[in-house]
A and B are shown apart, each in its own frame.
Chain A
Amino acid sequence: MATLIQVIISGILVGGLYGIISSGLSLSFGISKIANFAHADFMTIGMFGTLLLIQGIGSWGLLAAPVVAAVVGILGMLVYLVLLRRSDLRAVNEDEAHLPQVVITAGVGILIQSLLLVFFGSNDRSVSTALDGSFQLGGISVSKAQLVAFLVSLLAFVVIDLVVNRSEFGRALRAIVDDGEAASSVGVNRSRMVAASMGLGVGLAGLAGTLLATYQTITPTAGFNYLAMAFVVIILGGLGSIRGAFVAGMIVGVTQQATGTYVALDLQNVAIWILFLGVLLVRPHGLFGRGITL
């Protein structure tokens, strides 16, 4: 029983983080239709940014996480403006737009990994902060870093949810998802909104990176392993749905922990991949709702 509770708690804690990585991807994917294959590599930038901060000023560096996230977000916005906007604007149909974007973002991903490799080498790195160690509660252990990461993720989720559903900015975003042309005709600047949603989404990846850095090994390819996971989560949660992504993140987290504990550690992702292919078969528009809902 204690094992089961442990599995569920650990699953929810990492799941919250998956939720925030995926909400970010969902923002750029659901709104701008950009399948950003470099999303997880932007997260790695966040991890290394945190590494530098903590090496420089110790645990207090963690308070600068929002700054790291913002810098990563601006990088993401630049990638859109410089490399992706052209193909986005001239595409005849949606699939036609995806193609160069997938290739260019995958290229950007390799570029990020290679740059990090040049500057930091391929050694495993980790940081030690005030968040090391764990709470013990009747045989169940909860890592402090994971708990904090979860709480920050939750906060970020609430903020993003409010921004998307309650603000003027969010209304414009949803208008573009519903009907891009109609939104443009009433004065919403599509290109600018897409850049903003891309920046916001990639910024969330950066934030997730800063959180992940407190308890995960940091390498130039550390983030890439989360890419497929993030895509799985947003498909499960329903494309473009922020709330769906957050819930699906936790489902994925718990499934992963349960498989890792009860079946085999190196098969923990296999359960996720099978879950994904299964959902594609029976509910292609995700577990929650259908189509784009925000």
Chain B
Amino acid sequence: MNPLLHKAGRVSLPPVAVGLIALSLPFWLIQQQYVLSVVTISMVWAIAGLGWNVIGGFGGLLSFGHSVFFGIGAYTTALLTIHLGVTPWIGMFVGAALAAVVGMVFTYPALRLKGVYFTLATFVLTLLVGDLTTHFASLTGGDQGLSLPFTRDDPGAFQFSSKLVFYFVMVGFLTVATLVGSLVSNSRLGLFLRASRDDPDAARAAGVDVTRVRLVGLMISAAVTSVAGSLMLEYLRLIDPLTAFGSGTAFIIGLVALVGGRGTVVGPVIGAAVLIPAQQVLSSTFASGPPGLSGIAYALIVILIMSVDYRGLHHLLVRLGRAARRAVPVGRRRAEEV
């Protein structure tokens, strides 16, 4: 086969698969409004996780503060809508650009150091921006945050006639985010990011500018996660410092990618598809019990998955697939391979 075509196929397979599956869900799985909202929220976190995965997965720099980019996206979009009447369709890209610049400026020193410095720098950065957002209440609404008015059916202002239409718009965003992940993974940038992750010294020796590669990766990562923040704002119609910059948000973003399989293209989507519904179901199941039970269950799920295989569910599925193939009698397998 033509190698160019082959590569195009490899790049487009994950986003096409993810997009088609997500498109099909309302026709067989989603029969209730509740399920629809759970799946919609899962997609927002999947997009945030896909962003995280660019630097956290391919780049190997574990961020514990991607909520800062998520929050910058949400707040920028909200402020532009409220004060200047800018449509979210533009606001979210302004937010993405801002998130990329903030990420570049503040984590640059950490990019030159070992991974753990980056983890701490992002953690501190999200706390810093969160504190500042709470403090400057006249602009940001302080603890209460900002809310957007509901208007009827106005696609230009990201207001749709039904939740189902909103869902299909989100499928579009999810597909594009997966495509970005797939493009990075199959590009020279992805190769350099992985090289810098696996052995920075060897990468340097081979002529890779490790810091620059990480910087570009971080900017893409921040931008994608920032768009997820804008989408969360549009879904909730409100945003506050805790939702935007809190450590809970920071944790979920990293977790969907880590549990799903960091450094794989569809890992974050798998992670979000498992973790977010689990979290939603757990908290509604235990709603009548004492608070904290759902947290216990959630923490145990995470600890269990990471202990069984810290490379995540994607890897577990691959292993299961291999085991299943091995279970097929050898003679038949040989025949198939020939």
Q: A residues engaging B (CB < 8 A)?
A: 35, 37, 83, 86-87, 93-95, 98-100, 102-104, 106-108, 110-111, 113-118, 121-122, 220, 224, 228, 231-232, 235, 264, 266-267, 269-270, 273-274, 276-277, 280-281, 284
Q: B120 near A: Cβ within 8 Å?
A: yes
Judge if B128 is at the interface, Cβ distance under 8 Å: yes
* Pick from B128, B197, B258, B307: contact of A270, CB under 8 Å: B128
Q: What are 29 A-B pairs with beta-carbon distances under 8 A? A: A94-B115, A98-B62, A98-B119, A102-B62, A102-B64, A104-B307, A107-B299, A107-B303, A110-B251, A110-B295, A114-B295, A115-B292, A117-B292, A118-B293, A220-B292, A228-B123, A228-B124, A231-B123, A232-B124, A266-B131, A267-B135, A269-B127, A270-B131, A270-B132, A273-B128, A274-B128, A276-B120, A280-B117, A280-B121
Q: How far is the CA of A98 from the CA of B303 in the complex (A)?
A: 15
**Docked-complex contact B121 and A118, CB < 8 angstroms:** no
A146 to B302, CA, bound (A): 38
Which of chain A's residues have a CB closer than 8 A to the CB of B9? none
Least Cβ–Cβ distance between A121 and chain B, in angstroms:
7
Given A102-B119, A114-B292, A284-B112, 5 other A-B contacts at CB below 8 A? A111-B295, A228-B127, A266-B134, A270-B128, A277-B128
Q: Is B16 an interface residue (CB 8 A)?
A: no
Q: Given the complex of chains A and B, what is the CA–CA distance between A235 and B262 in angstroms?
A: 27
Specify the chain A residue showing the minimal Cβ separation from B64.
A102
Main secondary structure of the interface of A (DSSP, over half): helix
Which residues of A sit under 8 angstroms from B294, Cβ to Cβ?
114
CA A32 – CA B139 in complex, angstroms?
44
Q: Are B310 and A122 neighbours in the complex by a CB distance under 8 Å?
A: no
A118 x B302 contact (CB < 8 A): no
B 305-322 to A, binary, CB cutoff 8 A, 1 in contact else 0 = 011001000000000000
- Complex Cα distance, B128 from A228, in Å, reads 11
A37 to B119, CA, bound (A): 11
When the two chains form their complex, are residues A110 and B298 in contact, meaning their CB atoms are under 8 A apart?
A: yes
Residues of chain B at interface, number, CB under 8 A: 47
Report how far A294 CA is from B110 CA in the complex, Å. Answer: 23
Question: How far apart are the CA atoms of A114 and B115 in the complex, in Å?
Answer: 29
Q: Are the C-beta atoms of B64 and A83 separated by less than 8 Å?
A: no
Partner of B303, one of A83, A224, A273: A83
- How distant is B260 from chain A, measured CB to nearest CB, in Å? 12
Top 6 nearest A-B pairs (CB, nearest first) are A114-B295, A117-B292, A100-B310, A273-B128, A111-B299, A118-B292
Report the Cα distance A110→B306, complex, angstroms.
15
B190-228 interface bits toward A, Cβ cutoff 8 Å, 1 = contact, 0 = none: 000000010100000000000000000000000000000
Contact of A117 among B60, B121, B295 (CB under 8 A): B295
Contacts of A266 in B (CB 8 A): 131, 134-135
Q: How far is A52 from B318 in the complex, measured between Cα atoms in Å?
A: 49
A83 to B293, CA, bound (A): 21
Contacts of B295 on A, CB cut-off 8 Å?
110-111, 113-114, 117
Knowing A83-B307, A277-B121 touch, does A117 contact B290 (C-beta < 8 A)? yes
Min CB–CB distance A265 → chain B (angstroms): 10
Main secondary structure of the interface of B (DSSP, over half): helix
Q: A103-B255, A111-B295, A115-B296 are in contact. Are A35 and B302 (CB under 8 A)?
A: no
Complex CA distance for A49 and B124, rounded to whole angstroms? 29
Q: Are B109 and A281 in contact (CB under 8 A)?
A: yes
**Is B149 on the interface with A (CB-CB < 8 A)?**
no
Contacts of A280 in B (CB 8 A): 109-110, 113, 117, 121
- Residue B3 at the A interface, CB < 8 A? no
Residues of A within 8 A of B247 (CB): 224
Q: A95-B115, A270-B131 are in contact. Are A118 and B296 (CB under 8 A)?
A: yes
With contact pairs A104-B307, A111-B300, A228-B124 given, residues A117 and B291 touching in the complex (Cβ less than 8 Å): yes
Chain B residues contacting A118 (CB-CB under 8 Å) are 290-293, 296
Within 8 A of A (CB), among B218-265: 247, 251, 254-255, 258, 262
Asked, given contacts A98-B62, A98-B115, whether A270 binds B135 with beta carbons under 8 Å apart, the answer is yes
Q: Decide: A95 near B60, CB < 8 A? Known: A83-B307, A102-B119.
A: yes
- Say whether B125 faces chain A, with CB atoms less than 8 Å apart: yes
Give the residues in chain A near B21, CB-CB below 8 Å.
none
* A37, B299: Cα distance in complex, Å: 13
Q: Is B152 an interface residue (CB 8 A)?
A: no
Report if B89 contacts A (CB, 8 A). Answer: no
> Which residues of the other chain, A, contact B119 by a CB distance below 8 angstroms?
35, 98, 102
Q: How far is the CB of B279 from chain A (nearest CB, A)?
A: 11
Considering the chains assembled together, what is the distance between the CA atoms of A141 and B279 in angstroms? 48
**How distant is B29 from chain A, measured CB to nearest CB, in Å?**
29
The A-contacting residues of B in range 28-68, CB under 8 angstroms, are 60, 62, 64
B8 at the interface (CB under 8 A from A): no
- The listed residue with most B CB atoms (<10 A of its CB), out of A100, A102, A103, A267, is A103
